[in-house]
Amino acid sequence: MTNRRFDKASKVIWVGFFSNLFLTLLKLIAGILGRSAAMVADAIHSVSDILTDLVIAGSLKVAAKPSDGNHKYGHGKVETLAAAFVGGVLFMVGAGILYSGTVKIVGHFSNSPLQRPGMIALYAAFFSIVVKEVLFRYTNIWGKRLESTVLKANAWHHRSDVYSSFGTLFGIAGAIFLGQKWVVLDPVAAVIVSFFIFKVAFGIVREALLELIETSLPYKKENEILEIARNVEGVYNPHDLKTRKIGSNIAIDLHINVQEHLNIKEAHDITVSLEKELRQHYGKDTFISVHTEPLVG
């Protein structure tokens, strides 16, 4: 990760951090004053956002370090590990919200009827949806521009808050406007929200783990690499392609054939042209290894 990329990614994370800090305090106060279990659960979910923002900020700082003697491919995997952490935190948050909501539902139908939420909780839910959707779009745009796995994961963490707040909004609205017997819609909304969070968490963890176990790039991307190689003058029969992701960068290991009458310098010039072409497509920090073999016949 270059310094410029690190600076921009860090700025995105800190914008999210301070927004989450504000929303957490707002939702917690609104949940307590408005007697809303769903809003309090939503506030707890936002606490996880604050913690993950701090972890991500630290991981980006490590990922930005240049290659060294012990990390010849740089520190990009730290970024991927942080994305997996974000997904793991989301799983735990979802489980906590599911448990809390279920306990309140059971209690409501036994001996602890719930109080009707206040309008302040409804206003806070609506405001949270607007802010978190803006944060999702902002973070996701920069995650794609910077090709950052962890930024894209954090963007979906913001989007999970949108799901959470939508569920909270409808649950609180139902509890307020449909009468006392529908107050249970508030914790029911919290339970429904937990399943949305599980879904997002699964997608984030799956993508990060696939990268950590050195899964190849998608078939379409590998075909694109082979096509680029075929179009470089002097390159014949590109084969034995191996690829993987290293944080926001990719590694390409490729065998090619060159005319057998070429000398070492001429063959080397062809590989340099190929590497230049690949880096133009996939970034100057792409790790490339090209093995040349004589073209027979």
Tens digits of residue pLDDT in 36-58: 776 777 787 777 778 778 888 88
Tell me how far CA of residue 76 lies from CA of 6, 61, 151, in angstroms. 12, 10, 13
Number of independent structural domains in the chain:
2
pLDDT at 1 over 60: no
* Same domain for 225 and 203: no
Could you tell me the CA-to-CA distances from 189 to 32, 39, 103, 104, 194 in Å, in that order? 17, 10, 13, 11, 9
Q: Which pLDDT does position 74 carry in this prediction?
A: 67
DSSP class of 218: P
Residue-wise pLDDT for 250-293, tens only, equals: 889 999 999 998 999 999 999 999 999 999 988 887 889 999 99
Mean pLDDT (the chain, rounded): 83
Note whether 141 and 11 are within 8 A (CB): no
CATH at 14: 1.20.1510.10
Residue 68 confidence class, pLDDT cut points 50, 70, 90: low
Q: Clarify whether residues 119 and 172 are in a common domain.
A: yes
Determine the Cα–Cα distance for residues 184 and 229; give it in Å rounded to an integer: 62
Q: Same domain for 191 and 225?
A: no
Tell me: do 145 and 257 sit in the same domain: no
Question: With 0-12 CB in 10 A as exposed, 13-18 as middle and 19+ as buried, what is 146?
Answer: buried
Instruction: Answer for the pair 172, 186: CB distance below 8 angstroms, yes or no.
Output: yes
Same domain, 148 and 232: no
Tell me, yes or no, whether 70 and 190 share the same domain: yes
DSSP 180: G
- Determine the 3-state secondary structure of 114 from DSSP: coil
- Paired tokens of 167: 């569920």
Report the SS3 class of residue 110.
coil
Residues 6+ apart with CB under 8 A from 230: 238
Q: How many CB atoms lie within 10 A of CB 253?
A: 14
What pLDDT, on a 0 to 100 scale, did the predictor assign at position 209? 85
pLDDT surpasses 70 at 214: yes
Dig out the tokens for 192 from the structure.
């429904």
| Same-domain check for residues 108 and 155 | yes
213 contacts 235 by C-beta, under 8 angstroms: no
Domain of residue 233: give its range.
219-295
- Determine contact, residues 237/254, Cβ cutoff 8 Å: no
Residue 53 and residue 189 in one domain: yes
DSSP classification of residue 71: B
208 and 112 co-located in one domain: yes
Domain boundary among 159, 191, 212: 212
287-295: strand order across its sheet: 236-246, 249-259, 287-295
The pLDDT > 90 percentage for the chain reads: 26
Q: With beta carbons less than 8 A apart as the criterion, state whether 225 and 243 touch.
A: yes
User: Could you give phi then psi for residue 58, rounded to 5 degrees?
Assistant: -65, -40
Angle between helices 149-177 and 76-108 (to 10 degrees): 10
Same domain for 108 and 226, yes or no, is: no
Of the candidates 158, 186, 212, which is a domain's last residue?
212
Do 202 and 67 lie in one domain? The reply is yes
CATH number, domain containing residue 240: 3.30.70.1350
Do the beta carbons of residue 52 and residue 86 sit within 8 Å?
A: yes
Residue 228: predicted pLDDT: 94
CB atoms within 10 A of CB 112: 10
pTM: 0.65
User: Which of 146, 178, 212 is at the close of a domain?
Assistant: 212
Q: Are residues 206 and 223 in the same domain?
A: no
- The total number of residues shown for the chain amounts to 297
Decide: 154 and 86 in contact? Cβ < 8 Å.
yes
Angle CA(236)–CA(241)–CA(2) in degrees, nearest 5? Answer: 110
Q: How many C-beta neighbours within 10 Å does residue 33 have?
A: 14
